Structure 1
Amino acid sequence: MGQKIKHREIYQFQYNGESFALNVSSSKAFALDELNSTIISLSNQYSRVQISEILKGQYPENEINQRLDNIFEGYEEDNDNSEMGPYLCYTLVLHPSRRCISCKYCFGTSPNIIKKGIDFNTAKKAIDCFINQLAPDGKKYIIDLSGSGEPLIRFDLVKDIYNYCQEIREKLDRDILVTFVTNGTLLKKEQIDFLMSTDILFGVSLDGPVEINDDLRIFRDGRGTYKNIIGNCIQIEGYDHLGFAVTLTGKHPNVKEIFLTLYDLKMADAISIRPVRYDNGNYSINKNNIREVKENYDTFMEFLLEQTLAGNAGYLYTILNGEDFLGKFLKIIFCQDMLSTRCDAGKSRFSVNYNGDIYVCPVLLDNPNLHGYL
């Protein structure tokens, strides 16, 4: 069950007889002892003062007050008024292209999308502003060219941006990583040879077995993309780190089947499955299918536990090695890889469009009321 505690939603759940809680606002998860579990349960009906009175005599008073402070006020790092130190890593999202294939769940098919990508001069200006003004205290910078289209449509621009980042890296002695996700349909020999000669980190979008992928990710003439993508990926040999990026939809929620199909290809050392952001239609995750999605994740989690306990850690490693949604949650729980905020938009992540307008999130592009300027 979930409770709202001073503008923070705490979701409490049971697993194997143990109590756990998830702070939705920060994505922090933690195990609960009896006292914390009792306080969270009571908070749905009673105020802090009332809970203190109810528990008086059952636990030491100082222990009750300390737990109440933690739960109702939040730990120091969760306090809205606490100062946040500099982030270690900042991300700038650029949009070389806003054209792509025709995925059925993509918001990029909206007629309101301006199909204009950034040019090199604007990209340079954005990178300079990002490193020198928006985030001068960063230890690492990521230039993400995934944007809202297929970056390899403008392969020459990708090369120019990478070379410029190399110049800055050497001149300023900064750690700058160029990265992007491609739909894989344009990964020909020229592109592959260049990418493998650099330290660009790239992934390929593939949504599972052929029948699922080709229901979701299609060319504009209606043909499926699976055969084309796999044929291109086979040419990538000896690359240290290739990841598959998967969009999980409400229509195809079998996360275990999707994962194992891609894992068995033995092409990628990272598989990142993330829920679709499409909010309507047959492909969204909504109240009608959320139970089925959760059940499929339960099945997948049980599989990972069984395999890991049996000594087959490769499956778990593959989802921890990328940006997998479940993998991030597991890092929070088991590795204490805590988040200071649930969303990094406008804090350590920014986006710039073709016109030099700055947005806190790439999804907000084309909204005239939600941007600043370089």
Structure 2
Amino acid sequence: MKFSLFVTQQCNLRCSYCYIQKQSKTMSDRTAKQAIDFIFKRSKRFNETINIGWFGGEPLLEFGRMKKFTQMVTEHPQYSADKVVISVVSNGTIFTEEIGQFLKESGIIFGISCDGPPDVQNKFRKFRNGRPSSKRVERTILRAHEMLGNSMINAVYTPSTLKNLPDTIHYFSRLGVRQIYLSPDYSAYWDEEAVFQLPKIYDAIGDLYISYYKKGDPHYISLIDNKISVILRDGYDRKDRCRMGIAEFAITPEGNVYPCERLVGDGNNNRRIGNVFTGIDPEFMLCHCAKGQAINKECLECGVKQYCMNWCGCSNYMTSGYYNRVSSFLCHSEKTILQTAFRVFRVLEKELGPVFYEHLVGKALSETV
């Protein structure tokens, strides 16, 4: 179960590819209480971990609210520390001793969005006045690592920064980061030239992964670890797949409910599926679905479809305009990273023996590095 709560839609950065429209809205105590009730009520019929993420905008602009809402979660009658995981995703420009101490004491997972070294970070992720953000974000990464241990980093790559991914991983590694999530900008135009570069770049990432592992310093790199996990488990499990609007929701400051945070936009668009005060519209999935077959014909006939993210509704929507229609870029990217992950697996298993047992239960290295 995954719930993203928009503490605010304000942000001090103006990242050019951001899919959330910046507004002055913040979540009230009343809406937060109703949203948390919605979370526990919706999760009751699922015997699963509940992941609650504080989101934005930049949620740490409203640190006081985030603290209060966290307390609302932990004091809820249905709260169980064994069942609830709380996280916050920040742009890395706001971090203090008080924030670090609170995150540590509360056991909140801290994620930082950073696209890479200064020349990459500053290309798209700038302050409202146009000033670069890299120096401040790098300080936050170092301080968070010192206070919290292994925080996770999410780096967005675009057609113009795809070639920088190996250097980006090197950069994070030098800063002590060992959990690296790499996410393509699905809203970008991925032309044939960019798609053609995927095998070369993904293989370079695979080589880095192998080298770190052989040195006894394994790094969790999402592109590689996620696919090795899926390969070992012979495909995506039902709970791995997108269940937006069923077991995945995003809630805006006004209490509007969306099937995924990437579909919120300005918070008032026609992808809204309900409100925490009025409930969910059961007909929402009829919107933005391509008529006829559920997915592309080539997907239905593909031999690796069970290992592919063709099920990701928001990625499909961002790239093809339909929840159930896979784009050419996603298809090529998935096939390419599968080949790279399988090569990495074979090399390391051959040279080091069985090293991926934890992946069989979907843990990958994110819980061990």
| Counterpart amino acid of residue 350 in structure 1 | F
> Quick check: 1:105 aligned with 2:17?
yes
Aligned 8 A contact 2:155 2:181 in 1: yes
The 3 A distance-change label for structure 1 pair 114 and 232 is closer
The 3 A distance-change label for structure 1 pair 192 and 174 is closer
How is 1:197-276 mapped onto 2 (pairs within 5 angstroms)?
197-236=105-144, 237-253=146-162, 254-266=164-176, 268-276=177-185
CA distance in 2, matches of 1:242, 1:255: 19
CA distance in 2, matches of 1:198, 1:355: 26
TM-superposed deviation, 1:292:
1.5
Aligned 8 A contact 1:139 1:174 in 2: no
TM-superposed deviation, 1:335:
5.1
**Counterpart residue number, 1:356:** 255
Aligned partner of residue 137 in structure 2, secondary structure: helix
The 3 A distance-change label for structure 1 pair 135 and 313 is farther
| Counterpart amino acid of residue 188 in structure 2 | D
The 3 A distance-change label for structure 1 pair 335 and 220 is same
CA distance in 2, matches of 1:291, 1:105: 22
TM-superposed deviation, 1:170:
7.3
TM-superposed deviation, 1:337:
6.8
Aligned partner of residue 197 in structure 1, secondary structure: helix
Note the alpha carbon deviations across 1:214-267, whole angstroms, 9 max, x for none: 11211111111111112233333242431111111111113211111111111x
2:244 to 345, 351, 357: 345
TM-score by length of 2: 0.67
Aligned 8 A contact 2:256 2:272 in 1: no
**Counterpart residue number, 1:301:** 206
- Quote the sequence identity (%): 22
**Counterpart residue number, 1:75:** none
TM-superposed deviation, 1:325:
3.5
TM-superposed deviation, 1:172:
5.7
TM-score by length of 1: 0.66
How is 1:310-349 mapped onto 2 (pairs within 5 angstroms)?
311-315=214-218, 317-319=219-221, 324-334=222-232, 336=234, 338-340=236-238, 342-349=241-248
1:370 to 260, 266, 272: 272
When the two chains are superposed, the root-mean-square deviation of aligned CA atoms in Å is 2.4
CA distance in 2, matches of 1:128, 1:373: 12
Corresponding residue pairs, total: 269
| Counterpart amino acid of residue 263 in structure 1 | S
TM-superposed deviation, 1:108:
2.7
TM-superposed deviation, 1:303:
3.3
CA distance in 1, matches of 2:165, 2:6: 29
**Counterpart residue number, 1:121:** 30
1:166 to 53, 57, 74: 74
The 3 A distance-change label for structure 1 pair 162 and 241 is farther
CA distance in 1, matches of 2:51, 2:142: 27
Structure 1 segments of 4+ aligned residues over 6 angstroms from their partners: none
Aligned 8 A contact 1:201 1:241 in 2: no
Aligned partner of residue 186 in structure 2, secondary structure: coil
**Counterpart residue number, 1:18:** none
The 3 A distance-change label for structure 1 pair 169 and 261 is farther
The 3 A distance-change label for structure 1 pair 313 and 333 is farther
| Structure holding more helix per residue | 2
The 3 A distance-change label for structure 1 pair 190 and 238 is closer
**Counterpart residue number, 1:43:** none
Aligned partner of residue 155 in structure 2, secondary structure: strand
Aligned 8 A contact 1:207 1:246 in 2: yes
Aligned partner of residue 289 in structure 1, secondary structure: helix
TM-superposed deviation, 1:156:
0.8
| Counterpart amino acid of residue 36 in structure 2 | I
| Counterpart amino acid of residue 95 in structure 1 | F
How is 1:148-163 mapped onto 2 (pairs within 5 angstroms)?
148-163=56-71
Higher relative contact order (CA 8 A, sep 6+): 2
Moved more, 287-296 or 168-177: 168-177
Aligned partner of residue 293 in structure 1, secondary structure: helix
Aligned 8 A contact 1:181 1:245 in 2: no
Note the alpha carbon deviations across 1:143-199, whole angstroms, 9 max, x for none: 1112x4110011111101111111127766762121121011111222122212220
Aligned 8 A contact 1:141 1:177 in 2: yes
The 3 A distance-change label for structure 1 pair 169 and 212 is farther
The 3 A distance-change label for structure 1 pair 256 and 335 is farther
Aligned partner of residue 139 in structure 2, secondary structure: helix
Aligned 8 A contact 2:114 2:121 in 1: yes
